Structure 1
Amino acid sequence: MSSATVNGGETAAGMDIETAAVHPPPPAATNTVPFAQKPNFKPLKAHEISDGQIQFRKVLVPPHRYTPLKKAWMEIYTPIYEHMKIDIRMNLKARRVELKTRQDTPDVSNLQKCADFVHAFMLGFDVIDAVALLRLDELYVESFEIKDVKTLRGEHLSRAIGRLSGKGGKTKFAIENATKTRIVIADTKIHILGSFSNIKVARDSLCSLILGSPAGKVYSKLRAVSARLAERF
């Protein structure tokens, strides 16, 4: 009995193995569902991002820029209202330019671009130069004072401002043309409009002039740096 049982067990085990060999298991079912297409969502409008709330910006108008603002109002109003789709008004009581988004504002960043544009005009830049802030993303304004570089007083401060401008603005124009920037010298404050790398070159040149370097030495450095910048492009 024991041997029969063993033999029967072996036979059963052999049959199991043989059956498994003859009838292999069915292949795993493959996923025949086609790959889902990438969803295509339209960009959100400015009022949709803020849950329907209107966003505001206010730019203070300095007293000395009030008259230039009145003369150039239409040049500022037209690109902001018609092209950037941002509402703009002048608050005469608070002496501020107020900006807000509209239902048809295409991009929420337009509001900040317009605020930067108006702020650049208040700093003293021409409308033609400041409007580049609306068209290009990599431009910004950097400001610093002469005392941030070197503490100067009296005639020393006056001579430093004279070195920055040059005779008839010659030095300032040379730095602007070599670095593709725009510079405003308002008393002891200096404002530079341009891209990051160009602002750095212009700032280094202005700092050298403040520290007492002669204009000729700054010109030679500018020629070398501007040639190097031209090679990158």
Structure 2
Amino acid sequence: MEVVACGQASEVGAPLLPRFEAMKQHEMTEGIIEFRKLPVPAYRFSLLKKCWMEVYTPVYEQMKVDKCTDFVHAFMLGFDIPNALALLCLDDLYVDSFEIKDVKILRGEHLSRTIGRLSGKCGKTKFAIENSTRTRIVIADTKIHILGSFMNIKVARDSLCSLILGSPPGKVYSKLRAVTARLAEKY
């Protein structure tokens, strides 16, 4: 620390003020080391260990501590690393999560048929909804997670809810075509 008495004048004539060096992180927290913990589900733990450097590098280099939780949370929900990284770059991306039972209470084979209807043969229905609404969808057991902009999430959620309520996929596809045409006109 360099201290100059307030009574002394500088070359310009104004009194000089004390100059302090920048504080280090451990000095600001009074020596207490801060940790943040995020629970990792068992089914994502092995993938997290395998991809740790791909996850850690962008978190350490590109993000602040506040944003770190969004990225890791999206990764743990089931989104791949590039989709979770999009949360860092774009401000208008959101994640919406809901369960099938929030829309309609189903049990047994009815539930498994509904999950199959959401995915479609070889994931065709899910990919069609993702591509037409510019979102990413993860179906994890009975939970559904959607990553995208606010309006696109709404369209994707409406399509998924229609399928849960028993609408045939062809009808959902035709609604998506109409919505996609309207979205194309805006952009």
For the aligned pair, the TM-score class normalised by the smaller chain equals 0.7 to 0.9
TM alignment of 1:162-181, pairs within 5 A? 162-181=116-135
Cα distance between partner residues in 2 of 1:198 and 1:113: 22
Cα distance between partner residues in 1 of 2:158 and 2:28: 45
- Give SS of 1:208's match: helix
- Give SS of 1:59's match: coil
Task: Look up the match of 1:25.
Answer: none
Structure 2 gap segments, 5+ residues each: 1-23
One of 152, 155, 172 as aligned partner of 2:109: 155
Cα distance between partner residues in 2 of 1:81 and 1:175: 33
TM alignment of 1:83-98, pairs within 5 A? 83-84=62-63
One of 57, 64, 85 as aligned partner of 1:131: 85
Shift of 1:83: 2.1
Structure 1 gap segments, 5+ residues each: 1-46, 85-109
Cα distance between partner residues in 1 of 2:182 and 2:36: 39
1:204 equivalent to 2:151? Answer: no
Question: Could you give the per-residue CA deviations for residues 59-109 of structure 1, whole angstroms, max 9, x where no partner exists?
Answer: 11011111000111111111111222xxxxxxxxxxxxxxxxxxxxxxxxx
- Give SS of 2:144's match: strand
TM alignment of 1:73-88, pairs within 5 A? 73-84=52-63
- Give SS of 1:113's match: helix
Amino acid at match of 2:103: V
Shift of 1:112: 2.6
1:65 equivalent to 2:44? Answer: yes
Question: Could you give the per-residue CA deviations for residues 105-130 of structure 1, whole angstroms, max 9, x where no partner exists?
Answer: xxxxx323221110111111100111
Runs ≥4 residues deviating over 3 A: 51-57
Q: Is the 8 A contact 1:117 1:131 kept in 2?
A: yes
Shift of 1:56: 5.0
Amino acid at match of 2:79: F
Relative distance call for 1:133 and 1:168 in structure 2 (3 A) is same
One of 138, 151, 154 as aligned partner of 1:184: 138
TM-score where L is the length of structure 1: 0.65
1:217 equivalent to 2:171? Answer: yes
Amino acid at match of 2:47: P
Pairwise CA RMSD: 1.8
Q: Which has the higher strand share?
A: 1
Q: Which structure has the bigger radius of gyration?
A: 1
- Give SS of 1:172's match: helix
Q: Is the 8 A contact 1:149 1:210 kept in 2?
A: yes
Amino acid at match of 2:37: K
Relative distance call for 1:219 and 1:138 in structure 2 (3 A) is same
Q: Is the 8 A contact 1:205 1:218 kept in 2?
A: yes
